[in-house]
Structure 1
Amino acid sequence: MIDVPEPDAERLADGIAEIARFHDSSLPGWSREVFSEPYRASRDWVRGRMAEAGLEVTADAAGNIVGRLPGTHGGPALVTGSHTDTVRQGGRFDGIVGVLAGIEVAQRLRETGVRLAHDLVVADFLGEEANEFGISCMGSRSVAGVLLPEHLDRVDGSGQRLGDAMAAFGLDPQAALRQAWDPADVHAYVELHVEQGPLLERSGTSIGVVTAIAGIDRMLVHFAGLAGHAGTTPMPDRHDALVSAAAAVLAVERVGCGAPVHGVATTGHIESSPGSMGVITDRARLWAEIRSVDGDWLRGARRRIVDEITAETRARGVDIDVDWISDQDPVPTSPLLQDVVAEAAGGLGLSWTAVPSGAGHDAAHLARLGPMGMIFVPSAGGRSHCPEELTATEDIARGAHVLAATLMSLDRRDGVRHS
């Protein structure tokens, strides 16, 4: 077995601490949302960190930061990376681990004199997290050719178009629609990520070999009731939009709890008007999502949720309008890359297990360009998307070591794209 350079664990930990400095200090935890000023500042830091590691650094029209370590023979590149934006009041590890580990692998290869035949590309994709525009994975969608003109016309709560927000951030939204990578230029894509769930920690396993990335369907439901005096309108005569929205929350939860294998359903936000305790609510809006690696269950869950909400609102005399925002279909990882990751972990003496991903990832879109695989490392307590998100430095270093071994193994393999 070829020696695989070990990562510098202290340098990885320092990098995570340094990029964590860029956040909205007015909020608890770490908020570095897409198009925010902390995110803008962190992008400069990432470019500098890639340059320090010896990578050739560019930024594209969609804001992706791409570092390249040239190989000896060129050809289709090995690609790794993730994202460095966060959810509001999020944590320090989701996405960040994949970007910094990719940079660390490239730097250790260069420091130890190991030359890959293929170029190694490390990407920090723009805007992976869900946002007010309802479009996640903006940067990876762009390079995969699935960022669409209608996406640019989506608006946030203030009425700003996504395309205008991109332009204000210094990007070129129209060029971002036309810059898809050629699949012939991608040998394989491997992403390291924190698990964001409890399975690895509970089982005492070091490495998760991801089998599939969950599909995500998001919905926005508008409820139209009838305003009235809260003190004088009898209960049987009410058409309360907020009560219907509250019942919809429970319908979403019931459907999620009924998944046979892997399926979850979450309501994330409700708005109502006029917002007075003395007035029956006439308008409400609800945002929810369902996720599963089982596409058949997702399609059935959509129907069940709408049927349950419709029946309940009709009984209350409330009208609804449901707008589904399909984010992505379930995406299986490459069986070959699953095997290579498992072999890499085993070769380094690390335990591993096969796991699905309930979270969405840039990797789901990179799968359009070539074989895709993912490596998970444990999340303490299974916590993520919150300030308590934590992955131990030694676990991150193990994941980076497996990433290096996986990339080196793929570098030596022919026919990866056709497996």
Structure 2
Amino acid sequence: MNVPLDIAALGARAAAMIEELAAISATPDGLTRFFLTPEHRRAADLVAGWMREADLGVSEDALGTVRGHWHPAGPDAPRLLIGSHIDTVANAGKYDGTLGVILCIIALDEIRKAGLTKPFGVDILAFGDEEGTRFPTTLSASAAVAGIFAPASLVTRDAEGISYGEALIAYGKNPDDIPAAAYDPNKVIAYIEAHIEQGPVLEAEGEPLGVVTAIAGASRLSVTVTGEAGHAGTVPMSMRRDALLGAAEMALAAERIAKADAHGMVATVGRVHVEPGSVNVIPSRVVFTVDLRSGSDLSRREALERFEREAHRIADLRHLGVVISAFHEVATVPCFRDLQLRLRNAIADLGHRAPTMPSGAGHDGQAMSKLCPIGMLFVRCRGGISHNPAEYAAPQDMGLAAAALVRFIERFQLPQLSEATGGVET
């Protein structure tokens, strides 16, 4: 059966829920909602209330992840997991993470009201530590669900000196219960996440929804360039060993390498420290960072090798020293091809073409991929702006996203997972 859908009504409902959740903030003039804070507690309670209004079963695990349960085939049937996160960065936008949770609640409510039954269950997951803004951790809530939580996280501390473990106890949880948060991988079908794109591609394509091919892998480098300080007025240009000019040329090399890649690679130099930092002294030492992301681990590794060669070539030509060290490495997480196809078909049923693209941002799907196959649905956001109060998704686009989730779930059949093909086969 096709569940009847009113796109405009679905979008209006999502917009109202977005505003209600955005009102829960630690600051009165913006949106800030960190993990395991009173604001997280209030947001989790609101989400749980929405789940109950949708006639879903509700539970909460040891890390505060709120779970909504729809089990038409009974509690022992396999589960399709859907969801996103409800924590935010400081001075955040309203849609990042929270939209995905809201869309899932709306979609399951529509399915339940239509009387649809399936031979599997669906659990909505509202995670709380995707952004990593309070503690020097990230994805710990979804990691617990996936069975890969790192106990060392519990001793990390926030800016006020409160440990993760202490905050968890203050939130009313017992760290000893964390292992029980993990799903049995034999009973999980897949994980699907809806999220604003956080980029400008869908807007440029003129399409409201897209399908993610992979969550890009990321490498972060610290590059130290050494030259020689000298008087800005007396050392001839041909005799200078200017560390900043060498660093600038290396930064442009990173840009060229990324632009030449065929896998949507992006390169960012986000931090630069210059010494001695005087207006009339030639820079003698520069430390800068390179953030390199790609939907292909192979292309990312090759790009890193090219950058290292280029950096040393530039240093040799300019008589500079250069040291490159990696301080962050995350592998690409592919979205299963069959899940991509199912999402694209659901969107096509609504009369839209679904562009495919990698996600340059990290998501809970990275942790969930250790448990099961993952898929992601992107929703167009105005100007590609995210992590910013100007973040915005139109009600019509949100309504289409909720409808796409309904179509995806109602047509979903129990699959057999095939690692050999990199996809899900029925």
How many angstroms apart in 2 are the aligned matches of 1:285 and 1:131?
Answer: 25
Write the letter of the residue equivalent to 1:197: G
Q: Is 188-197 or 348-357 further displaced after alignment?
A: 348-357
Equivalent position of 1:260 in the other structure? 262
Specify the SS of the correspondent of 1:352. coil
Contact 1:262-1:292 within 8 A present in 2 as well = yes
Write the letter of the residue equivalent to 2:217: G
Specify the SS of the correspondent of 2:17. helix
Specify the SS of the correspondent of 1:22. coil
How many angstroms apart in 1 are the aligned matches of 2:273 and 2:45?
Answer: 36
Write the letter of the residue equivalent to 1:181: Y
Specify the SS of the correspondent of 2:25. coil
Q: Would you say 1:31 and 2:32 are equivalent positions?
A: yes
Write the letter of the residue equivalent to 2:62: A
Specify the SS of the correspondent of 2:72. coil
How many angstroms apart in 1 are the aligned matches of 2:176 and 2:278?
Answer: 43
Aligned ranges 1:290-309 → 2 under 5 Å: 290-305=292-307
Equivalent position of 1:92 in the other structure? 94
Q: Is 118-127 or 318-327 further displaced after alignment?
A: 318-327
Aligned ranges 1:11-410 → 2 under 5 Å: 11-25=13-27, 29-74=30-75, 75-131=77-133, 133-152=135-154, 162-163=164-165, 166-167=168-169, 169-173=171-175, 175-176=177-178, 179-219=181-221, 221=222, 253=255, 255-269=257-271, 288-305=290-307, 322-327=325-330, 329-410=331-412
How many angstroms apart in 1 are the aligned matches of 2:114 and 2:168?
Answer: 39
Larger-Rg structure: 2
Aligned length: 414
Deviation at 1:238, TM superposition (A): 11
Write the letter of the residue equivalent to 2:13: R
Contact 2:210-2:377 within 8 A present in 1 as well = yes
Q: Is 8-17 or 278-287 further displaced after alignment?
A: 278-287
Q: Is 112-121 or 373-382 further displaced after alignment?
A: 112-121
TM-score of the two chains, using structure 1 as the length reference = 0.81
Q: Is 97-106 or 71-80 further displaced after alignment?
A: 71-80
Specify the SS of the correspondent of 1:417. strand
- Residues 196-239 of structure 1: per-residue CA shift (max 9 Å, x gap): 222222222232122222112344x386989x9999x9999999
Contact 2:40-2:128 within 8 A present in 1 as well = no
Deviation at 1:142, TM superposition (A): 1.9
Write the letter of the residue equivalent to 1:48: G
Write the letter of the residue equivalent to 1:292: S
Q: Would you say 1:414 and 2:399 are equivalent positions?
A: no
Deviation at 1:62, TM superposition (A): 2.2
Contact 1:71-1:119 within 8 A present in 2 as well = yes
TM-score of the two chains, using structure 2 as the length reference = 0.80
Contact 1:223-1:244 within 8 A present in 2 as well = no
Q: Percent identity?
A: 33
Cα 1:321–1:290 shift into 2, 3 Å: closer
Cα 1:162–1:299 shift into 2, 3 Å: farther
Contact 2:59-2:68 within 8 A present in 1 as well = yes
How many angstroms apart in 2 are the aligned matches of 1:240 and 1:164?
Answer: 49
Q: Is 301-310 or 199-208 further displaced after alignment?
A: 301-310
Cα 1:273–1:156 shift into 2, 3 Å: farther
How many angstroms apart in 2 are the aligned matches of 1:124 and 1:372?
Answer: 16
Cα 1:257–1:167 shift into 2, 3 Å: farther
Cα 1:308–1:43 shift into 2, 3 Å: farther
Deviation at 1:274, TM superposition (A): 10
How many angstroms apart in 2 are the aligned matches of 1:258 and 1:398?
Answer: 35
Cα 1:302–1:154 shift into 2, 3 Å: farther
Q: Root-mean-square deviation (CA), in Å?
A: 3.9
Deviation at 1:48, TM superposition (A): 2.3
Write the letter of the residue equivalent to 1:324: F
Deviation at 1:366, TM superposition (A): 2.0
Contact 2:267-2:293 within 8 A present in 1 as well = yes
Unaligned runs of 5+ in 1: none
Equivalent position of 1:2 in the other structure? 2
Contact 1:313-1:320 within 8 A present in 2 as well = no
How many angstroms apart in 2 are the aligned matches of 1:320 and 1:235?
Answer: 26
- Residues 101-124 of structure 1: per-residue CA shift (max 9 Å, x gap): 101112222333333332210001
Q: Is 268-277 or 119-128 further displaced after alignment?
A: 268-277
Cα 1:128–1:273 shift into 2, 3 Å: farther
Specify the SS of the correspondent of 2:212. strand
Specify the SS of the correspondent of 1:8. helix
- Residues 235-279 of structure 1: per-residue CA shift (max 9 Å, x gap): 999999999887776565455444333111224456789999899
